[in-house]
């Protein structure tokens, strides 16, 4: 039922009850007045007869008495009139024979006779006097103080009832007209003043539910008007919040550029448009190089500001129709629609490289960012969002490789490389279970006299189908996938077991250096080292842990704590590949190292490049000033050997002295050492089996 109908029914009900009560009290009052009038008229008749009838009674003039009774009974509303003596015997009487009550009591259908025998008359009067529609009136007839008889008159309420019925019909007719008029008037007022605004509000609410923001027209300032204003303000607030959410869902809060969601959506739209119009476009994936260093050294707040500056510089190099989106982290997407030729994309990429590398001053320091850009072309390099983004991403990672330019277009060969990498990842999952890994050991000699001091454990993977796989190929994959944790544990435990075998054989293996990956350097490394030493009854000096500089870019406090605990147990530490990463002399002061290893890239040009020689000389001098031993890797010529000896380098390692040896050949090497220490170069060119 609609609101208007409910309201009208309620109003009609209230009016009906009110008017019905009013009619009841009015009719009740009218009936009392009319009944009082009947009583008064009966009393008047009674008094009149009582005054004139004594003479007729005393004179026994029954004809006159009969006339008096007849005159009384003929009056309107009189049912009967009877004059009785003191013995209650009727002297005269008159009964209205046409009265329905009289006929009913006498059991007659037609009019009753005017004369009735006294007994029957007496019984009739008694019965009539007891009827609710008859008012009995009794008046004494007195003469000179002596009662001569009584006049009994019965007044009928029939006229009173008829009149009351007529008044009731009139009242209800009038009240019904009043109710109908008021309900109609109220309905019309309610419809146009209340229901129309409410219906407009309902329609606007339905529009709002469908996402259409329509305002309610407000024409007055009453409660409904204020309700409409409140609803309009709510609609505006929802509209603002939805716009805000829409912006947050599609735009990056840091750079104010489209995010991954909107960038992918625009890429999808551009694919449809380019396919329909048979056009070409370019998709670029841009990734900042070494952005982690900025976050680690200057803080994430500075890194976020740098991203904002980079985004601004990139956007300034693009057309209005081009799309720049931040995919996440330090990675951006650039979409170049309606591309003429591939060289146009190259020109844009060159400008982007230059813009990104523009110096930015942050917290008083000048920061220069560099990036790598991978480019995929539609439709040559893919016709779907997934393929294009994957190929552009692949090209970007190719651009990051050492020796490559910072801009790289996707080629079909890259997919083969990706598939090969994925296959290697799959095979690495099974490498331990299949027992495909083994260790080789490259001896380390003292520079002064050529005495053997220890060895470096190097990992090899003998693939059942592809043969020997270089560590440079599979170690980065293992590190990126986290598989290096299990592999690193196997290396430590296998190194410990092999040291114990050599010791049990009476050999002197010295110490063995083991490379530690970044993800291994955490709290449980202490328990692992302790387990390796205890399980094989090895002294702590039997192991040396080699750590590369990039590891030190992580949480300094955690690394310092782990290294401190291990160093306190007697383990040795060497800083590997010094100078090839992000060298900082503060590392040497902050962390506890025993040895510094000069990378082979500095040793190789030692005798031909004066700058390289000066750099190695400075590294050796600095290390000795910090009480660190120096190991030179990659010694391959006698000239390098002599030069390093002249610099005072402590230890040497390289193919000139010995190739990496497998377990069998290294055991033979240690056996010969126990018999007679070899001169320099005796083990040169020994293979690793």
Domain 3-162 sits in CATH 3.90.550.10:
no
pLDDT at residue 511, as a whole number? 94
DSSP 53: H
3-class SS of residue 345: helix
170, with CB counted inside 10 A (0-12, 13-18, 19+), is: exposed
pLDDT at residue 129, as a whole number? 77
CA distance 681 to 444: 12
Q: Is the pLDDT of residue 681 over 50?
A: no
H or E stretch at 366: strand 365-367
State both tokens at 473.
């190929």
Which of 153-167, 332-346, 481-495, 669-683 shows the lowest mean pLDDT across its residues? 669-683
CA distance 504 to 613: 43
The long-range contacts involving 191-195, CB below 8 angstroms and separated by at least 24 positions, are 191/4, 193/224, 194/224, 195/3, 195/4
pLDDT at residue 682, as a whole number? 43
**DSSP string for residues in 583-635:** --HHHHHHS--SEEEE-HHHHTTTTT-HHHHHHHHHHHHHHHHTT-EEEE---
- pLDDT per residue over 57-82, tens digit each? 666 666 776 776 666 666 667 777 78
Question: What is the chain's length?
Answer: 689
Q: Residue 231: which pLDDT band, with cuts at 50, 70 and 90?
A: confident
Note whether 153 and 81 are within 8 A (CB).
yes
Note whether 643 and 623 are within 8 A (CB).
no
Read off φ and ψ for residue 192, nearest 5 degrees: -85, -25
CA distances from 391 to 24, 62, 254, 322 (A): 95, 141, 27, 20
**Best CATH choice for the domain 438-674 from the list 3.20.20.450, 3.40.630.20, 3.40.50.300, 3.20.20.140:** 3.20.20.450
* CATH architecture observed for domain 260-410: 2-Layer Sandwich (3.30)
pLDDT at residue 667, as a whole number? 95
- pLDDT per residue over 297-316, tens digit each? 788 888 999 999 999 999 99
Most confident option among 21-35, 158-172, 559-573, 650-664 = 650-664
Give 331 or 195, the one with higher predicted confidence.
331
**DSSP string for residues in 492-510:** HHHHHHHHHHHHHTT----
pLDDT at residue 507, as a whole number? 93
Note whether 626 and 588 are within 8 A (CB).
yes
Q: Residue 123: which pLDDT band, with cuts at 50, 70 and 90?
A: confident
Give 508 or 476, the one with higher predicted confidence.
508
State both tokens at 552.
């030190």
pLDDT at residue 510, as a whole number? 93
Most confident option among 355-364, 572-581, 607-616, 663-672 = 663-672
616-649: buried (b, 16+ CB within 10 Å) or exposed (e) per residue?
bbebbeebbeeebbbbbbbbeeeebbebbeebeb
pLDDT at residue 664, as a whole number? 94
Which of 110-119, 442-451, 626-635 shows the lowest mean pLDDT across its residues? 110-119
CB neighbour list of residue 687: distance below 8 Å, 6 or more residues apart: 659, 661, 665
Percent of the chain at pLDDT exceeding 90: 33
pLDDT at residue 65, as a whole number? 67
666, with CB counted inside 10 A (0-12, 13-18, 19+), is: buried
Identify whether 3 is preceded by a cis peptide bond (ω within 30 of 0). no
Q: Is the pLDDT of residue 156 over 80?
A: no
Q: Residue 685: which pLDDT band, with cuts at 50, 70 and 90?
A: very low
Note whether 609 and 581 are within 8 A (CB).
no
Looking at residues 462-489, what average pLDDT do you find? 87
Where exactly are the structural domains of the chain? 3-162, 213-249, 260-410, 438-674
H or E stretch at 663: helix 663-675
């Amino acid at each position: 039922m609609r609101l208007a109908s409910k309201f009208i029914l309620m109003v009609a009900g209230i009016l009906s009850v009110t008017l019905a009560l009013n009619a009841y009290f009015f009719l009740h009052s009218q009936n009392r007045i009319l009944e009082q009038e009947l009583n008064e008229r009966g009393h008047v008749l009674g008094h009149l007869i009582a005054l004139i009838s004594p003479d007729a009674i005393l004179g026994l003039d029954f004809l006159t008495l009969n006339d008096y009774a007849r005159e009384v009974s003929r009056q309107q509303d009189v049912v009967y009139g009877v004059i009785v003596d003191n013995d209650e015997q009727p002297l005269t009487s008159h009964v209205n024979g046409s009265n329905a009550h009289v006929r009913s009591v006498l059991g007659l259908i037609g009019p009753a006779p005017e004369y009735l025998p006294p007994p029957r008359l007496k019984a009739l009067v008694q019965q009539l006097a007891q009827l609710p529609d008859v008012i009995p009136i009794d008046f004494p007839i007195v003469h000179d103080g002596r009662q001569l008889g009584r006049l009994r008159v019965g007044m009928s309420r029939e006229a009173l009832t008829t009149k009351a019925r007529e008044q009731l019909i009139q009242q209800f007719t009038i009240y019904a007209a009043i109710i109908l008029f008021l309900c109609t008037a109220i309905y019309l007022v309610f419809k146009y003043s209340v229901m129309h605004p409410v219906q407009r509000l309902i329609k606007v609410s339905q529009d709002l539910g469908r996402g259409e923001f329509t305002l309610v027209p407000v024409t007055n300032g009453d409660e409904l008007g204020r309700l409409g204003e409140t609803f309009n303000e709510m609609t505006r607030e929802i509209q603002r919040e939805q716009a805000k959410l829409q912006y947050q869902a599609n735009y990056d809060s840091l750079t104010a550029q489209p995010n991954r969601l909107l960038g992918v959506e625009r890429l999808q739209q551009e694919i449809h448009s380019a396919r329909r119009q048979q056009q070409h476009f370019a998709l670029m994936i841009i990734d900042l190089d070494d952005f982690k260093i900025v976050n680690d050294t200057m803080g994430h707040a500075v890194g976020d500001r740098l991203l904002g500056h980079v985004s601004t510089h990139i956007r300034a190099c693009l057309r209005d129709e081009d799309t720049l989106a931040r995919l996440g982290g330090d990675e951006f997407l650039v979409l170049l629609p309606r591309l003429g030729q591939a060289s146009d994309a190259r020109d844009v990429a060159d400008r982007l490289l230059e813009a990104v590398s523009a110096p930015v001053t942050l917290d008083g320091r000048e920061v220069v960012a560099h990036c790598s850009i991978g480019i995929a072309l539609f439709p040559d390099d893919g016709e779907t969002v997934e393929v294009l983004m994957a190929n552009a991403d692949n090209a970007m990672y190719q651009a990051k490789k050492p020796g490559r330019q910072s801009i790289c277009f996707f080629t079909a060969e890259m997919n083969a490389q990706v598939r090969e990498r994925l296959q290697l990842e799959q095979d690495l999952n099974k490498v331990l279970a299949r027992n495909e890994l083994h260790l080789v050991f490259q001896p380390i000699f003292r520079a002064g006299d050529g005495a053997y001091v220890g060895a470096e454990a190097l990992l090899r993977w003998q693939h059942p189908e592809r043969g020997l796989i270089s560590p440079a190929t599979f170690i980065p994959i293992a590190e990126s996938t986290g598989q290096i944790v299990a592999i690193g544990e196997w290396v430590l435990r296998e190194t410990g077991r092999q040291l114990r075998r050599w010791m049990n054989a009476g050999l002197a293996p010295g110490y063995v250096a083991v490379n530690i990956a970044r993800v291994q350097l955490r709290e449980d490394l202490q328990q692992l080292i302790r387990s390796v030493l205890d399980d094989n009854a090895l002294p702590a000096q039997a192991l040396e842990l080699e750590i590369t500089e990039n590891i030190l870019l992580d949480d300094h406090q955690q690394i310092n704590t782990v290294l401190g605990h291990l160093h306190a147990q007697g383990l040795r530490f060497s800083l590997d590949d010094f100078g090839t990463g992000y060298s900082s002399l503060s590392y040497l002061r902050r962390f506890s190292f025993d040895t510094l290893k000069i990378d082979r890239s500095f040793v190789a040009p030692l005798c031909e490049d004066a700058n390289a020689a000066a750099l190695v000389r400075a590294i050796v001098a600095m290390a000795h000033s910090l009480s660190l031993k120096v190991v030179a890797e990659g010694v391959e010529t006698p000239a390098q050997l002599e030069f390093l000896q002249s610099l005072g380098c402590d230890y040497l390692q390289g193919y000139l002295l010995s190739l990496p040896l497998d377990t069998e050949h290294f055991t033979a090497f240690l056996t010969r050492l126990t018999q007679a220490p070899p001169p320099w170069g005796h083990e040169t060119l020994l293979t690793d089996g």
